[in-house]
Amino acid sequence: MKDPSSSASSASNFHPGANIASAAGDAAQASAMRNDSQPGSKSPERNSPQTSVTASSAQSRSRDSIPTACLACRSKHLKCDGSHPCARCVASGSECAYVASRRGYKGPRRGAAPNPNKRQATSPPDLDASDVFPYSSASQPISMCRAFKGSSVPSTSSPGSSTGHTPLSNHSQTHRYADTSGTDISTYELSPSIRSGTVQGPLPSLAERCFDSFYQNFHAAHPFVLPKDFIFRFAREGSIEPLLSAMRWVGSLYIDVPAARESLYDEAYQRVKDSHNPRDGFLLQAHMVLIVGMDGAALNDKARELLIAAEKLAIEIAINTRPFAKLYGRGIPVLEESWRRTWWDLLVIDGMIAGVHRMTNFELFDIPADVALPCEEHQFLSGNIPPSRYLEDLEDQEFTAGDDDREFSSFSYRILCARNLGKFMRTDAIQGPDDPNLARIEALLTNWRLHLPPSKRDPLDRDGRVDEMMFQAHMMVHATSILLHQPHSQLDSSPASSVTSCAPHQAVLTTGHPFNAHTRHVIASATAISHLVTLPAASLASHTHFFTCVLTLSSIVHLSKWALRFVQYDDDDLRQLLRLNVAALSELARVWPAAERARGQVRGVAADIYRAKKQVQAAPQFWFGLTREQVMSSIAADDSIIEEISENPHAQRSTITG
């Protein structure tokens, strides 16, 4: 009878970012050996070392065996002479490093006592590999760091097979290629400490680094893909390869691998678009990861095209219905939760794209859905999924609080914000500042804020860390408020008309003083968005990339106010908010080209306003009623902000351009 612990331990060794040489081997060492043949097989160029060789076998072998091959030769499937350094590395100027081979290793002997000093592989809780792979027919681990370019790849010749091309959906091949710069993306990048020999052991491959970067930097902002500890269990399933490819590309945006980034994008896009893919939830997740990444990379047209395809796929597979999670969750609670989150995050993504770009119509808002609400993030990451709650419970909680006093998850309040945005977008054209429809939407936004439980009123969790789901919820509320009130405010938006990186310019021509209520709503929301920058996040880039466009919307309000003539010497707070926004856009631009475009436009408008203010300030009557100290202070403050905004340095890394 099969030992369950053995099965679980074997499955836990898979890393979706690398080829696995041996299911029973250590995952880190196995990833370094990802190009070796399977235990017990023979390579046409390299033979396993033998302690003794018979006379007959010695006559049949025309080449001498070597103990192992260096990493550079192994990654290129080339014969290595075993020297230190080897001849090929000397000729190419490559670093020559060796890792002990595990070829022929068949795992620990049955009944052998475990080594107390060796770290044992562990499984995620409540999961057994036989439960996760009931329909998998693959007898060998699937390569998770395969990459290729083009719509097809050369197939490996074998007896009875024809040469030519293998479709993308054939996941039994190991695919490798060099990117456009000629850099082999599967080779190791040796750090100085490794080169000097101070660190021993195999290094993570590029694919592993990208995979880990995805979870470290992106997953918390759009947490629908299975947590890292659980997705390992699906490594054998070829149907998730498009998803893994998308994750690798998005993960690469956060690390310094510009030479490989375009190739990773090509691979991910082609895999997701392949017509042979199973049309399932994993393919939908792959679409969603790509959509967010492509929108942040300023590939807006392709992102919208993929969004339309994702919406069709979601309705086709009925992921918006309550039974889907049970039908396709395989009895695994964390997988069921992942499916629920997939629908709701797709709804949020659709709403965010419609809200910040104003080029789509939030199609999913009109689709009926009875999917259970997501749980808290720590519950999802641990796999301890609580009983489900539903949207009607959340929307009617003020009337049923006596029946159930449990708080809803942060993700749930984020969903409410997306739905309020949808209700605003479905409202008939608001005719003026006194239109009842405007008051109705403002009531929705105000009620959302007033009915938050105390633990959700700040975008921080109980430990003082940023709660990304509540961060996005507050971000959406403030952005919706600006979109609602800006057309009826007294801030002339024409000075910022060239800021179009996220959405077309929206003309607001009425001006006046003092400000009306709509102007104050707009200014308060823009200020609140700027203050989100000050929250103690590990990195601004760890927030959703849609924060870029919300910051841009806030900056348009600040710039419009800064351009007003009656704002004179007492606008230092406004200058500080502009500094915050530009600095945040600069930080986001290290990852997202869309942020770089927005930053450039905001800086350009700030420079134009500065020059215009200088001309107006030349007239003596501009300073009427102010003391000399106030005049000098205002001039110095304006000079300082334009100098800081214009010289805010950062090193923008190259990425996909189209």
pLDDT in tens, 489-532: 888 888 899 999 998 888 876 655 567 899 999 999 999 999 99
Q: Which residues contact 138 (CB under 8 A, 6 or more apart)?
A: 172, 236, 237, 238
Q: Which helix (H) or strand (E) holds 530?
A: helix 517-532
67 versus 30: the higher-pLDDT residue is 67
Question: Going along 93-157, which residue ranges are E strands?
Answer: 152-154
- pLDDT score recorded for residue 641: 65
**Amino acid letter for position 478:** H
In this prediction, residue 559 carries a pLDDT of 92
Q: With the CA atoms of 241, 242, 248 and 254 taken in that order, what torsion angle do they form, in degrees rounded to the nearest 10?
A: -160
* SS3 state of residue 89: helix
Q: What is the pTM of this model?
A: 0.70
Going by pLDDT thresholds of 50, 70 and 90, the confidence category of residue 577 is: very high
Q: What is the pLDDT of residue 332?
A: 95
Cβ neighbors of 55 (< 8 A, separation 6 or more) are: none
User: Which residue in the block uniquely carries the two structure tokens 């696995």?
Assistant: 20
Distances (CA, A) of 183 to 189, 220, 258, 262, 477: 11, 31, 10, 12, 45
Q: How many residues does the chain have?
A: 658
Contacts of 102 (CB under 8 A, 6+ apart): 21, 22, 25, 29, 30, 33, 36, 39
Which pLDDT belongs to residue 134? 32
Choice between 616 and 570, residue whose per-residue pLDDT is larger: 616
Contact 127, 230 (CB under 8 A): yes
For every residue of 590-624, which 3-state class applies, written as one string? CCCHHHHHHHHHHHHHHHHHHHHHHHHHCCHHHHC
Handedness of CA 242, 243, 248, 253 (dihedral sign): positive
Q: Which residue has the higher pLDDT, 484 or 562?
A: 484
Convert 158-200 into a string of H (helix), E (strand) and C (coil): CCCCCCCEEECCCCCCCCCCECCCCCECCCCCCCHHHHCCCCC
Instruction: Look at residue 419 in the predicted model and tell me its pLDDT.
Output: 96
365 vs 399, more confident:
365
What is the C-alpha separation between 172 and 236, in angstroms, rounded? 10
166: which strand partners? 153
pLDDT for the residue 66: 46
Position 255 confidence tier, pLDDT thresholds 50, 70, 90: very high
Lowest mean pLDDT among 461-470, 513-522, 552-561: 513-522
DSSP designation for 216: I
Q: Is the C-alpha dihedral spanning 321, 323, 328, 332 positive or negative?
A: positive
Among the ranges given (54-58, 81-85, 609-613), the one the predictor scored with the smallest mean pLDDT: 54-58
Backbone angles phi, psi at 152, to 5 degrees: -150, 165
Number of CB atoms found within 10 A of residue 367's CB: 13
Check the CA dihedral 200-202-204-205 and report its sign.
positive
Side-chain-side CA neighbours of 360 within 13 Å: the count stands at 25
Distance of CA 336 to the CA centre of its chain: 21
User: Average pLDDT for residues 16-44, to the nearest whole number?
Assistant: 37
Contact 92, 183 (CB under 8 A): no
Q: Where residue 5 falls among pLDDT bands split at 50, 70, 90?
A: very low
pLDDT, position 614: 73
Residue range 562-578: mean pLDDT, rounded: 73
Burial pattern 426-454, b for ≥16 Cβ within 10 A else e, equals eeeebeeeeeeebeebbebbeebeeebee
Q: Which residue has the higher pLDDT, 294 or 7?
A: 294
By DSSP bridging, strand 165-167 and strand 152-154 are antiparallel
The alpha carbon of 636 is separated from its chain's Cα centroid by a whole number of angstroms, namely 41
Q: Mention every residue, 6+ apart, whose C-beta is less than 8 A from residue 532.
A: 459, 471, 474, 475, 547
Task: Report the candidate in 390, 534, 566, 400 with the shortest Cα–Cα distance to residue 460.
Answer: 534
Provide the token pair at 409: 């998850």
Measured distance CA(143)–CA(136) in Å, rounded: 15
With 60 as the cut, is the pLDDT of residue 482 above it? Answer: yes
pLDDT of res. 93: 67
At residue 398 the predicted structure's pLDDT band, cuts being 50, 70 and 90, is low
Of 484, 619, 615, nearest in space to 557 by CA: 484
Q: Average pLDDT for residues 394-413, to the nearest whole number?
A: 76
